[in-house]
Structure formats: C-alpha cells, structure tokens
Amino acid sequence: MNNGLDRDLAEAAATLPAAGPSPDALRRLAERAQDEGVLDVAYAQVDSPLGPLTVAATGRGVVRVAYPDRTLDSVLEVLSRDISPRVLEAPARLDPIRRELEEYFEGDRQSFTTKIDWALATGTFFRKVLQATARIGYGKVLTYAEVAARAGSPRAVRATGNGLGSNPMPVIVPCHRVVRTGGALGGYTGGIERKEFLLALEGR
C-alpha cells in the first residue's frame, strides 16, 4: 500500500465539502492512484436505455455491471469487501466498455470484446454457468436446462436459474438470453421488463 497516497486521500476526505470532491479532483486522484499502482478497481456510471449502469473493472477486465436498482454504496461495498478496498471512480478507465455498451444499445454491436474478470463468480459451478452463458450468441436463446448441461450438470436446472439471478455482469454476460423450457421468459436479475427490452433489441 502506498502510505503517501493513503495519507493524501485521508486528508482530502477530512476536508471535503458536503457536495463531495470535484470531478477534477477525482480525476487527479484516479490518475495518481493508477500511476502508483494502487488503483485495483475503477468504476463509473454509464448511461443506458435501462437506466444508469454502474460498471467496474480491474486490471483483468470488467468485474461488475449493476442496474440502478442496486445503490452505488451497496455495489462499492461488495467490490471493496470481495475484491479490494482500493476502489475509485475513474471514468477514463471504463471508456472502452462504455463505448461498446453504447454501440450495443444503439444496435451497432453484437458482441463484446472487453475482457471479463470472473472474481465475483464464486464457486466452480456458478462460474461454469456464467461462462456458458457468455458464449450464447446475439439474438439466440438457450433454456436453463441447456445452460446447466453446458456447465456440466444437466440436472442442476434450479441451481442454474438461481445462479443467473445473481449474475454480477448482466448485459455483458447475457443472462437475458436464457429462458424456460417452452419459451417462457423466466426471471431476470434486472426485472422482466429489462429482459424483454434486451431480447427485443436483439430481434427476439
């Protein structure tokens, strides 16, 4: 840990106005943290037709996409607890995925090239479910049973559904493309209306 930067952050926090730090101050802190190698998780708010998304990334790739139903504080608490307390708002670090998300929502992108950090996909089966889901093509759907089979446990349909309900990276890991046997939509981490929107966007 960089003691000098930690001290500066603490002193800055003690003297901040009620409105919080200015965007310029946050940008400078993020740049310094990155330069000194102590920025483990960068996050930013990204506008979308489904509401503002909180997107976070580590040096390994995108680690979290959260709908506005999840408060920013709750998202940052999980990131700090489960990945690293070195979390800072750094929009510039998220520019590549922000552009890909914009292109996707405009109908100009059918796949994401950004790398994924699976750190929040705890448990071997859960990670296999998410990785199988990540391979479902644009405009395609699979059933929960098919995803369970691709994850190596054909009988674990309920566990597959429960796992997808806690997908830490909706849209990027397209759990909206997983439906019930027979075609019913099933549940969705962001609510059924968002699932309907995403499937309609992809022509389903």
Which listed residue (175, 178, 198, 199) is catalytic?
A: 175
Give the residues across from 156 on adjacent strands: none
Burial class (CB in 10 A: 0-12, 13-18, 19+), 22: exposed
Tell me how far apart the alpha carbons of residues 86 and 84 are, in angstroms, rounded to a whole number: 5
- Is 117 among the residues known to form the active site? no
**CA distances for 3 relative to 9, 33, 132, angstroms:** 10, 12, 42
| Contact present, 151 and 117 (Cβ < 8 Å) | no
- State the catalytic residues: 175
